[in-house]
Amino acid sequence: MSVINLLSPHVADLIAAGEVVERPASVVKELIENAFDAGAHTVTVEIRGGGATYIRVTDDGCGMAPEDAGVAFLRHATSKLSDERGLEAISTMGFRGEALAAISAVSHVELRTRLRGADEGTFVSLDAGEIQEMGPIGCPEGTTMIVRDLFYNTPARLKFLKSDRSEASACVQAALRCALGRPEISLRLIRDGKEEFFSAGDGRQDSCVYTLLGRELASTLLACSGEDEGLKVSGFVSSPSAGRGNRGSQYFFCNGRTIKSALLQAALEQAYKNSLLSGRFPACVLYLDMSFASVDVNVHPAKTEVKFSQERRIFDLVYHAVLSALQREDRTAEVQLSAGTRKLAEPKADFFRSMSAESYRRQQAAPQSTRAEAPVFPEPRGTQISFGGMRLAEPQTGCQTSLDLNPRKPSFSEPIRRDPTPEKPEGKSALVDKPVQNVDTPPIPDHKILGEAMKTYILVEVGDTLLLIDKHAAHERMNFDRLKAQERAVMSQTLLAPAPLTLGGEDTELLERFGELLGELGFEIEPLGGGNFVIRAVPADILPSDAVPAIEEILEKLRKGKTPDPQSARDEILHTVACKAAIKAGWDTSAAERERIVVEVLSGHVKYCPHGRPVSAVLTRRDLDKMFKRIV
């Protein structure tokens, strides 16, 4: 590392001013980042008493020369930046030259450091920022920084600290995020004498994620990657069936730095739209790599907020990479899309503004033209998409010793072709679905429909696997995709006996607000005044007797969605129509109807219901053999 400079007041002013040391976790983060910047391969962090009593960070990085060791604690002393041009492309974790000054001002600090190749090291001790002792010392190459009694001289700030337990877990989280961001560096964290975690530093994202986040989370992750002229995203996203209760397991990194980003969060969550239960959130570990000049990290002292110069491109890249990871899940056969389908699948120009993460919408206040539809199966540009040939992964049972992000390939026999003219079903639940898109017919594995259990689950034998399909969930998804693909023109049926409806004030307002949209989607509702309405027509797919329940359900969803944007409102309405039009558990289902559902599920088109529930479950011969103790 080069010699430490004192930044000129002008450059110092250009650096966003602010507090660096908020709590022990901020010290842990700053010291680890310094170790990373020093080119360390191995870093050890030790904390005691929640970090407020003791924090030690030892690295095998470049170390400091004696003349730099004292200067390092001065404000705006940094070896990572010398003039304002440097601010335009920051390649190091630090650049502000503030952390050591801020930390040493509110604690007792000891520094032992030895420059690589130097004969001896340097010792510096400071109290409240004042150097107490400084001199040569024997120590290993690299740097050890010890911070004791944080905030001992600022009792007001000490009072704001939470319990040792929560401060310690914030320290662990901060260190974990640093470690996760740099799989090539080995990081060990010791908390009150016990090892909390250890990352191998072998440069592999998968083993890093597995060791740091644990098997339970890692086993739900799908590999995800994408590239677009100098922008790269790689990492993992969770399977839609493994949605989580909050966003705590979303990790984003940009050039190795942990960042918070409403943009990335919105891109991620938009890709899960209609495949995740509402109120559930995806998990992810996503690494973005781009030129240092295209991201500004000088936004906030904690350096976790960044400003991208090409937000739109980054949004697209992440959105498509995640979507394609989700589409690849459980699929084996590679079928190329025809040119026509590719066109259909091409995302609309400005879906960017239809993203869901409200925080991003609020921040960005989209100024331009009106928002368009979210794309139906948008395809990552310039790549192939695989359709069909559902993959039946063996359920994760027993102990897994390594991260298996790529489940075992199934052993299906020669696939058969889908019958192009399925028998016309009879009865009130007649399936009217057509394939959602003009996708080249995917190969369907050889299968035998064994029957139906409890008038709910269709049983299918596929090779050595028993597949159970929730007929309602699968049919609901088929309906939803078909309705969504129909764009505006949803077929309507006039009710012989118009259905009266009386609503309260809030619902009346909602109905008026979304009346036009409901009209486009096949509902004809006439206001009679005083909260009274009459439903004259409903979408052709639903039964006349469902007219009032459907509207009530839609209004309830719209009410819960607070102020839904037109796209979300449209999806909610289509969810309800799809659900009402779907065959129900408990209904009799004809053989032809079952076959239609099975074919759609086996083709890989239908995996989750519109709310994110899985439509099928798998029992392998191995599972059954184990169950009956044929094997152990």
Residues at the contact surface with ligand ADP, assessed by CB under 6 A: 1, 4, 30, 34-35, 38, 59, 61-64, 72, 77-80, 94-101, 143
Q: Which is nearer to ligand ADP, 1 or 47 (CB)?
A: 1
Q: Is 84 exposed, middle or buried (0-12, 13-18, 19+ CB in 10 A)?
A: middle
59 binding partner (options ligand ADP, Mg ion, none; Cβ < 5 to 8 Å by kind) = ligand ADP
**Rounded to 5°, angle at Cα 577 from 345 and 587:** 115
Cβ neighbours for 155, distance < 8 A, ≥ 6 positions apart:
none
254 binding partner (options ligand ADP, Mg ion, none; Cβ < 5 to 8 Å by kind) = none
**Rounded to 5°, angle at Cα 407 from 402 and 412:** 145
77 binding partner (options Mg ion, ligand ADP, none; Cβ < 5 to 8 Å by kind) = ligand ADP
Q: Is 232 exposed, middle or buried (0-12, 13-18, 19+ CB in 10 A)?
A: middle
Q: Which is nearer to ligand ADP, 116 or 409 (CB)?
A: 116
Of all residues in the shown chain, the one whose CB is closest to Mg ion is 94
Question: Is residue 57 near Mg ion by the rule CB under 5 A?
Answer: no
CA 42 from chain center: how many Å?
29
Least distance between ligand ADP and beta carbon 319 (Å):
33
Judged by CB under 5 A, which stretch of 27-35, 272-280, 422-430, 567-575 contacts Mg ion? Answer: 27-35
C-alpha distances out from residue 597 to 104, 460, 616, Å: 67, 11, 11
C-alpha distances out from residue 180 to 20, 33, 206, 249, Å: 22, 13, 10, 12
Least distance between ligand ADP and beta carbon 21 (Å):
11
Whether 260 and 307 have beta carbons less than 8 Å apart is answered as no
Least distance between ligand ADP and beta carbon 31 (Å):
7
Footprint of Mg ion on residues 66-125 (CB under 5 A)?
94, 99
Strand runs labelled E in 360-485 = 448-453, 457-462, 465-470
Least distance between ligand ADP and beta carbon 245 (Å):
36
573 binding partner (options ligand ADP, Mg ion, none; Cβ < 5 to 8 Å by kind) = none
Q: Which is nearer to Mg ion, 25 or 99 (CB)?
A: 99
64 binding partner (options ligand ADP, Mg ion, none; Cβ < 5 to 8 Å by kind) = ligand ADP
Q: Which is nearer to Mg ion, 97 or 445 (CB)?
A: 97
Least distance between Mg ion and beta carbon 134 (Å):
20
Looking from the CA of 349 toward its CB, the CA atoms found within 13 Å total: 3
Least distance between Mg ion and beta carbon 93 (Å):
7
> Given its phi and psi angles, is residue 410 left (phi above 0), alpha (psi -120 to 50 degrees) or beta?
beta
> Strand, helix or coil at 385?
coil
Least distance between Mg ion and beta carbon 7 (Å):
13
Q: Which is nearer to ligand ADP, 42 or 492 (CB)?
A: 42
Of all residues in the shown chain, the one whose CB is closest to ligand ADP is 94
483 binding partner (options Mg ion, ligand ADP, none; Cβ < 5 to 8 Å by kind) = none
Q: Is the torsion defined by CA of 534, 538, 542, 544 positive or negative?
A: positive
Spatial distance between the Cα atoms of 455 and 206, rounded to a whole number of angstroms = 42
Q: Which is nearer to ligand ADP, 65 or 262 (CB)?
A: 65
Spatial distance between the Cα atoms of 444 and 449, rounded to a whole number of angstroms = 13
Least distance between ligand ADP and beta carbon 221 (Å):
32
Least distance between Mg ion and beta carbon 98 (Å):
8
371 binding partner (options Mg ion, ligand ADP, none; Cβ < 5 to 8 Å by kind) = none
Q: Which residues of 558-591 are buried (b: 16+ CB within 10 A; e: fewer)?
A: beeeeebbebbbbbbbbbbbbbbbbbeeeeebbe
Phi, psi angle pair for 561, to nearest 5°: -75, 10
Q: Which is nearer to ligand ADP, 115 or 254 (CB)?
A: 115
Whether 63 and 142 have beta carbons less than 8 Å apart is answered as yes
Q: Which is nearer to ligand ADP, 7 or 503 (CB)?
A: 7
Q: Which is nearer to Mg ion, 99 or 436 (CB)?
A: 99
Least distance between ligand ADP and beta carbon 140 (Å):
13
Phi, psi angle pair for 144, to nearest 5°: -125, 125
Token reading at 3? 């010699």
Q: Which is nearer to ligand ADP, 94 or 380 (CB)?
A: 94
Least distance between ligand ADP and beta carbon 56 (Å):
12
Judged by CB under 5 A, which stretch of 9-17, 30-38, 222-230, 529-537 contacts Mg ion? Answer: 30-38
Footprint of Mg ion on residues 212-271 (CB under 5 A)?
none
Whether 233 and 318 have beta carbons less than 8 Å apart is answered as yes
Question: Is residue 603 near Mg ion by the rule CB under 5 A?
Answer: no
Q: Which is nearer to ligand ADP, 107 or 143 (CB)?
A: 143
Q: Which of 1, 23, 26, 34 binds Mg ion (CB under 5 A)?
A: 34
Q: Which is nearer to Mg ion, 94 or 604 (CB)?
A: 94
Question: If residue 269 lies in a helix (H) or strand (E), which one and from where to where?
Answer: helix 262-271
C-alpha distances out from residue 440 to 8, 37, 233, 334, 434, Å: 64, 51, 29, 11, 13
209 binding partner (options Mg ion, ligand ADP, none; Cβ < 5 to 8 Å by kind) = none
Strand-pair partners of 539:
492
Least distance between ligand ADP and beta carbon 211 (Å):
24
Q: Footprint of Mg ion on this chain (CB under 5 A)?
A: 34, 94, 99
